[in-house]
C-alpha cells in the first residue's frame, strides 16, 4: 500500500472517529462497546485530539504526504474531522445550562443562594492538571484507609483540605467508582468532583470494592454499605460529620450508590454488621444502571447475559428475585433521601431512557426532592476526564445540589432547637 493511499485511509479513520464523537454510530448490541471506547475520549477530549492531529498533519505535510489528488482528498477529510472536533468542543462548553436548569426547576430559583449558606466556599481553579497531582493535593498518605476486612479491595482515599479542622464536622461525600462491577478502581475516577468538593470544605471518600468475576453479587453492595458504616464510625476523626453522609457514583457506581441510598440498614446486605447505620442523606447517581431484570430494549439482552455469566453467576429464570432485589427501580420508597440523577442523551452503554424511567418512577413515590439532568450530546462517562468542561459542570452542579440539601438540613435543625429564654 502506498504512503499516500495510507494517508487517505488515515484521514477517513480520523473523520469516522470525529463523527462518532458527534453522535454514536451504533446504539444496539455489542458494537456499542467499541463505539463508546473510541467515542468517549473524542467527545470529552476533542481539543487534545485536534491539537495532536494538527501537529501530526503539519509534520506529514512537510514531508509531502498531501501532494497530488489523494493527498488533497486526505487533507480535506482531515479538515472536516477538525471541524467536527471543534463542534464537539463548542457543544461541551455550551452544556452548562443543562446542568443548572434542572436544579432550578427542582430546587427553586433561589437554590444557589440557599446552597451558599451551607459551607464557607473557596474558589476552585479549573484547569487541566495531571490527575495524580490533583489527588496528592487533597489526599495525604495517612489518609488512605482500610474500611473493611478485605485488604486488597476495601481501601479508600480520604480527600480533604489540609487546613480543614479535625473537629470541623464538615459534610461528607462517598464516591463509588464505576467499571461494570468488574473494575471498581477508586483512582483516577471523579477527580474533578472530588477536588471541587474538597476545596469547598467537604470530606470525600473514594473507595475500591470487591469486583467480578473474582467476586459475586452481592459482594459489591455489601462493601459499599460497609464503607458507609465505616464513615459513620470514623469520619469524625478526619473532620467529617457522620450525621451528613451523601453518596454518588457513575455507571456501576451509579447503580450501587442509588441502591445503597434506597436500602438503608437492610440486613440482607449487611452480614456481620446488621446493626450498623448505613443510611445516607442524599444520593447523586450518574449514568447508572437501575434495572437488572428487563430483557427487552436496547442492549438489555446482552446486559442480562453479562450479569448471569460474570456478576450474579446465577440463571435469571430461576433466580429472578435476586435480580429484582438488585434493581434500584424496584426499591423505591416514600422516605427516600433527596436524589439528583444525571444522564447523557448519547450514552451508548446505558441508554438515556433508563435514567428517565428511574427519575420518573422515583418522583411518583418519594416525598423528597428528585432532580434530573439530561445532558445533550453527552456519552457515557462524560464526567471522567478532569479537563472536560462537562466534568467541571458536573462537579459544580453536584456540589450545589448537595450544599442545598446540607443548608436545608441545617436550617431545619436550627429551627427545631428551642429558644432559650431568661
Where the chain has pLDDT below 50, the residues are: 1, 126, 128, 421-422
Going through 133-257 in order, the beta strands assigned E by DSSP cover 144-146, 155-159, 170-176, 203-207, 240-250
Are 125 and 10 in the same domain?
A: no
The reported pLDDT for the residue numbered 119 is 66
Asked if residues 310 and 213 have their Cβ atoms less than 8 Å apart, the reply is yes
Q: For the segment 334-391, what is each residue's pLDDT rounded down to a tens digit?
A: 999 999 999 999 999 999 999 999 999 999 999 999 999 999 999 999 998 888 999 9
Per DSSP, the three-state class of 248 is: strand
Regarding whether 348 and 199 lie in a shared domain, the answer is yes
Tell me the whole-structure pTM to 2 decimals. Answer: 0.92
Start-to-end CA span in the chain (Å): 94
DSSP bridge pairs for 240: 170
The three cell numbers of residue 393 are 459542570
Can you read off the three cell numbers belonging to residue 193?
468532583
Whole-number pLDDT of residue 419: 52
Report residue 28 as a C-alpha cell.
444496539
CB of 119 closer than 8 Å to CB of 406: yes
CB 7 within 8 A of CB 60: yes
Residue 7: predicted pLDDT? 86
What CA–CA distance (Å, rounded) separates 346 from 184? 23
Domain containing residue 197: CATH number: 3.40.50.1820
Same domain as 89, residue 105 = no
Assess whether 25 and 140 both reside in one domain. Answer: no
Q: Containing H/E element for 403?
A: helix 389-416
183 and 116 fall within a common domain: yes
Domain that holds residue 370: 97-291+327-416
Question: Which alpha helices (DSSP H) does 284-388 contain, by range?
Answer: 300-306, 320-325, 352-365
Q: What is the pLDDT of residue 116?
A: 92
Residues 252, 339: one domain? yes
DSSP 65: T
Helix (H, G, I), strand (E, B) or coil at 228: helix
H/E segment holding residue 216: none
Q: Are residues 133 and 282 in the same domain?
A: yes
Residues with a catalytic annotation lie at 251, 347, 380
- Give tens-digit pLDDT for 264-288: 999 999 999 999 999 999 999 999 9
- What span, in angstroms and rounded, lies between the C-alpha atoms of 138 and 309? 39
Residue 107 CA to residue 227 CA, distance in Å, equals 29
Are residues 339 and 224 located together in one domain of the fold?
yes
Q: Are residues 60 and 125 in the same domain?
A: no
Same domain, 85 and 137: no
Bond prior to 271 in cis (omega within 30° of 0): no
What pLDDT is recorded for position 1? 46
Q: What is the pLDDT of residue 422?
A: 44
Q: Which residues, in sequence order, are CB contacts of 55 under 8 Å at separation 6+?
A: none
How long, in residues, is the chain?
A: 422
**Exposure of 188 by Cβ count < 10 A (0-12 exposed, 13-18 middle, 19+ buried)?**
middle
Q: Which H or E element spans position 339?
A: strand 339-344
What is the pLDDT, as a whole number, of residue 130?
56
CB-CB contact of 361 with 101 (8 Å): no
- Cβ neighbors of 361 (< 8 A, separation 6 or more) are 329, 332
Same domain, 162 and 20: no
Q: Identify the CA nearest to 101 among candidates 371, 322, 315.
A: 371
Asked if the structure places residue 401 within a domain, the reply is: yes
Shared domain for 57 and 194, answered yes or no, is no
Total count of domains within the chain? 2
pLDDT on residue 120: 58
Amino acid at each position: 500500500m502506498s504512503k499516500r493511499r495510507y494517508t487517505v485511509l488515515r484521514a477517513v479513520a480520523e473523520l469516522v472517529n470525529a463523527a462518532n464523537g458527534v453522535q454514536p454510530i451504533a446504539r444496539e448490541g455489542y458494537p456499542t462497546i467499541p463505539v463508546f471506547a473510541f467515542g468517549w475520549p473524542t467527545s470529552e477530549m476533542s481539543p487534545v485530539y485536534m491539537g495532536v492531529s494538527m501537529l501530526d498533519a503539519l509534520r506529514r505535510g512537510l514531508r509531502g504526504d498531501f501532494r497530488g489528488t489523494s493527498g488533497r482528498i486526505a487533507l480535506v477529510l482531515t479538515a472536516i474531522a477538525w471541524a467536527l472536533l471543534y463542534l464537539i468542543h463548542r457543544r461541551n462548553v455550551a452544556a452548562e445550562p443543562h446542568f443548572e436548569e434542572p436544579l432550578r426547576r427542582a430546587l427553586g430559583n433561589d437554590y444557589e443562594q440557599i446552597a451558599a449558606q451551607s459551607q464557607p466556599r473557596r474558589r476552585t481553579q479549573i484547569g487541566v492538571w495531571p490527575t495524580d497531582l490533583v489527588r496528592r493535593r487533597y489526599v495525604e498518605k495517612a489518609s488512605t484507609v482500610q474500611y473493611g476486612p478485605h485488604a486488597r479491595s476495601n481501601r479508600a482515599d480520604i480527600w480533604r483540605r489540609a487546613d480543614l479542622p479535625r473537629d470541623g464536622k464538615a459534610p461528607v461525600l462517598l464516591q463509588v467508582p464505576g467499571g461494570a462491577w468488574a473494575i471498581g478502581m477508586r483512582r483516577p475516577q471523579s477527580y474533578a468532583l472530588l477536588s471541587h468538593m474538597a476545596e469547598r470544605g467537604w470530606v470525600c471518600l473514594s473507595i475500591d470494592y470487591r469486583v467480578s468475576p473474582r467476586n459475586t453479587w452481592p459482594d459489591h453492595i455489601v462493601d459499599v454499605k460497609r464503607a458507609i458504616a465505616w464513615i459513620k464510625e470514623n469520619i469524625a476523626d478526619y473532620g467529617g460529620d457522620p450525621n451528613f453522609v451523601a453518596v454518588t457514583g457513575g455507571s456501576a457506581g451509579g447503580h450501587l450508590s442509588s441502591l445503597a441510598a434506597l436500602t438503608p440498614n437492610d440486613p440482607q446486605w449487611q452480614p456481620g454488621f446488621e446493626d450498623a447505620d448505613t443510611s445516607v442523606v442524599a444520593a447523586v447517581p450518574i449514568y447508572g444502571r437501575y434495572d437488572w431484570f428487563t430483557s427487552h430494549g436496547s442492549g438489555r439482552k446482552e446486559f442480562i447475559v453479562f450479569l448471569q455469566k460474570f456478576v450474579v453467576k446465577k440463571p435469571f429464570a430461576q433466580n429472578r428475585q435476586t435480580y429484582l432485589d438488585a434493581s434500584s427501580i424496584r426499591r423505591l420508597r416514600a422516605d427516600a433521601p433527596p436524589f439528583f440523577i444525571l444522564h447523557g442523551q448519547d450514552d451508548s452503554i446505558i441508554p438515556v431512557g433508563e435514567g428517565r424511567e428511574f427519575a420518573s418512577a422515583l418522583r411518583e413515590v418519594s416525598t423528597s426532592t428528585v432532580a434530573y439532568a439530561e445532558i445533550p450530546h453527552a456519552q457515557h462517562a462524560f464526567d471522567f476526564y478532569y479537563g472536560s468542561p462537562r466534568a467541571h459542570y458536573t462537579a459544580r452542579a453536584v456540589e450545589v445540589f448537595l450544599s442545598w440539601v446540607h443548608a436545608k438540613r441545617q436550617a431545619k435543625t436550627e429551627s427545631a432547637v428551642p429558644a432559650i429564654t431568661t
